[in-house]
């Protein structure tokens, strides 16, 4: 379960203080597929970075399965990102000179999974996101956008995370591929009981989630 309580993130920009996330609170049950809608610059990505321990909140608590990650030291945050979180980025953020298979194997390597096992599991995950086997060995920078996003989802699933955070996962994809990705995420949430939170400005995507939130001027409201 994900529980966010009164989270604030403050930036200083010259003389001004900016609060892209200002007192956000919500809770998501295990296996929920949720979306946060908001315009560009509304603080969606900032909130996502706080939930994924990419950045630290100025105040407030983020609790994942009863662990308050806001108070974890850096070393444990690394373990949290590795074991409990799966990230899917708008720009995919694959390592360009590694193959699709190697990209999916990376989180498992960091988790200490043996080579044979991680190779096998990475192939299974790529098959699961419907990437054909002939593409497994292809360098990431030679895959299409849709293929790269599928590899990114497979990578996010590598260590069986409790929570998948997706930042505009269909933002750079055509409609057909976007639909495929949405279906894949929903399937993961409902069948694997993985909590999935996507931030998007795509209403079509948000309409297919279990819960919808809106973020405007740092404040979160649920539709």
Partner 1 sequence: MGVVSRSVGNAFRNKVRSGAVVVILAVAIGLALAMLVANQAVGAKVDSLKASVGNNLTVNPAGSRGGLGGGNPLTAADATKAAAVAHVTSVNGTLSVRLANSAATSTTTATPGAGQGADRGGPGGGFGSSGTTSLKSAVDPGVLGQRNNSNSGATGGSTGGSTTTRPAFTIPIQATGVSTSTTATGAAIKVTSGAQLTDFAANSTQALVGTTLATKNSLKVGSTFTVQSRTMTVTGIFDAGDAFDNNGIYLPLAATQTLTSQAGQLSSLNVVVDNIENVSATQAALTASLGATNVDVTAGSSGLQSAISSLGSVQSISLIAFIASLVTAGLIVLLIMIMVVRERRREIGVLKAIGAANRTIGVQFVLEAMVLVVMGTVVGAVVAAFSSNPIVSALVAGNTGSTAAAAGPVQGAGGGGGFGGGFGGGGFTRTRGAFSGASQLIGTISTSVGWQTLVLGAVGILVIAAIGALIPSLLTAKVRPIEVLRGE
Q: State the number of binding residues for partner 1 (CB under 8 A).
A: 32
Count of H-run helices and E-run strands, the chain: 8, 10
Contact call for residue 168 and partner 1 (CB under 8 A): yes
**What span, in angstroms and rounded, lies between the C-alpha atoms of 4 and 168?**
20
**What span, in angstroms and rounded, lies between the C-alpha atoms of 135 and 137?**
6
**Between 82 and 162, CB nearer to partner 1:** 82
Task: Kindly identify the residues of this chain, within the stretch 108-127, that bind partner 1 according to CB under 8 A.
Answer: 109-111, 115
Contact call for residue 81 and partner 1 (CB under 8 A): yes
Instruction: Please state the closest distance from residue 61 (CB atom) to partner 1, in A.
Output: 19
How many residues are given for the chain?
Answer: 223
Instruction: Please state the closest distance from residue 46 (CB atom) to partner 1, in A.
Output: 8
Interacting residue with partner 1 among 26, 33, 87, 213 (CB under 8 A): 87
- 214: CB partners within 8 A, 6+ apart: 36, 37, 38, 220, 221, 222, 223
**What span, in angstroms and rounded, lies between the C-alpha atoms of 95 and 152?**
10
Report whether 217 contacts 24 (CB < 8 A): no
Instruction: Please state the closest distance from residue 210 (CB atom) to partner 1, in A.
Output: 25
**Between 1 and 111, CB nearer to partner 1:** 111
Q: Which stretch binds partner 1 (CB under 8 A): 65-73, 105-113, 129-137, 213-221?
A: 105-113
Q: Tell me if residue 118 falls in helix, strand or coil.
A: helix
Q: Which residues bind partner 1 (CB under 8 A)?
A: 45, 49, 52-55, 75, 78-79, 81-83, 87, 89-91, 93, 95, 97-98, 102, 105-107, 109-111, 115, 155, 159, 167-168
């Amino acid at each position: 379960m994900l529980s966010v309580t009164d989270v604030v993130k403050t930036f200083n920009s010259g003389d001004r203080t900016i609060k892209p996330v200002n007192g956000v609170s919500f809770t998501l049950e295990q296996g929920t597929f949720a979306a946060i809608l908001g315009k560009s610059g509304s603080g969606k990505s900032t909130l996502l970075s706080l939930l994924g321990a990419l950045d630290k909140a100025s105040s407030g608590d983020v609790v994942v399965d009863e662990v308050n990650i806001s108070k974890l030291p850096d070393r444990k945050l690394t373990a949290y990102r590795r074991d409990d979180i799966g990230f899917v980025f708008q720009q995919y953020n694959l390592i360009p000179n590694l193959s699709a298979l190697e990209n999916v194997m990376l989180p498992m390597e960091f988790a200490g999974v043996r080579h044979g096992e991680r190779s096998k599991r990475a192939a299974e995950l790529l098959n699961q996101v419907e990437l054909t086997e002939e593409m497994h060995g292809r360098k990431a920078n030679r895959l299409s956008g849709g293929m790269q996003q599928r590899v990114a989802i497979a990578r996010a699933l590598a260590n069986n995370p409790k929570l998948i955070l997706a930042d505009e996962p269909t933002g750079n994809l055509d409609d057909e591929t976007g639909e495929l990705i949405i279906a894949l995420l929903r399937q993961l949430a409902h069948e694997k009981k993985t909590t999935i939170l996507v931030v998007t400005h795509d209403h079509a995507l948000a309409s297919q989630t279990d819960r919808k939130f809106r973020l405007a001027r740092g404040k979160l409201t649920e539709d």
